[in-house]
Copies of this chain bind each other. A is one copy, B any other.
Amino acid sequence: MKRIAESTVRRLSIYLSFLEDIGARGALTTSSDDLARLGGTTSAQVRKDLSFFGSFGKRGLGYSVPELSSRLREILGLERQWRVCIVGAGKIGSALARYAGFAERGFMVSGVYDSDPGKIGKQWGGVTVLDIADLERDIVARQYHIAVLAVPAEEAQVLVDRMVKAGIKAILSFAPTQITVPADVTLRTVNMAMELEGLTFALTNRGADR
């Protein structure tokens, strides 16, 4: 398979979310044009994105909503359960641990880790806070697929290195810092400061460039 651009994968997520939405409302078929309008792109882009994975529509008719949903879920790897651990039980970790959206989408949060003895052992949204010292052991023993990192910038890289060494292959980081991982590990970073700076840049330079 050809390398798929991250932007394409992001759009697949958007398409799926719409398909599920209109599917729940009873729609049986849809078109690349519908998906484009709702997803803020063009119909050619939609068809090109899908074409990387196969041919899911019927010319003249469009796409079957349940079928395309199902294919996209397959492509995105959502037809199975994924074990997730949350590393860091601060404000963000806490909010994430209590976030119901995880379970709904097949992500099982099966461990929250922190180093604060005052937190270890506490129950948090159905999950017990565990000792971060056991992180490597648990990555192996519990076979976590995804680690969600919610720790201060200073601790982030060290923890990532530990997790990578223990075999984790996918990390979602909320730490406000740049992290590096080996090529066989996938890292996505959500950095509030960076997003806000994108906005202030636009507010500051608006008009100058468009």
Contact = CB atoms under 8 A, between A and B. Distances in A.
Interface in A98-116: 98-99, 101, 105, 107
Contact of A169 (B194, B206, B209): B206
Interface stretch (A4-12, A43-51, A62-70): A4-12
A97 B142 CA distance: 34
Interface of A: 1-4, 6, 9-10, 12-14, 16-18, 38-40, 75-78, 82, 91-92, 94-96, 98-99, 101, 105, 107, 145-146, 169-172, 176-178, 180, 183-184, 186, 188, 190-206, 208-210
Given A192-B101, A209-B3, A198 B10 contact: yes
B78 A200 contact: yes
A104 to B, nearest CB: 9
Q: How many copies of this chain? A: 2
B210 A3 contact: yes
Contacts of A200: 76-78, 82, 145-146, 170
A101 B176 contact: yes
Given A40-B180, A145-B203, A186-B203, A194 B1 contact: no
Contact of A99 (B12, B192, B198): B192
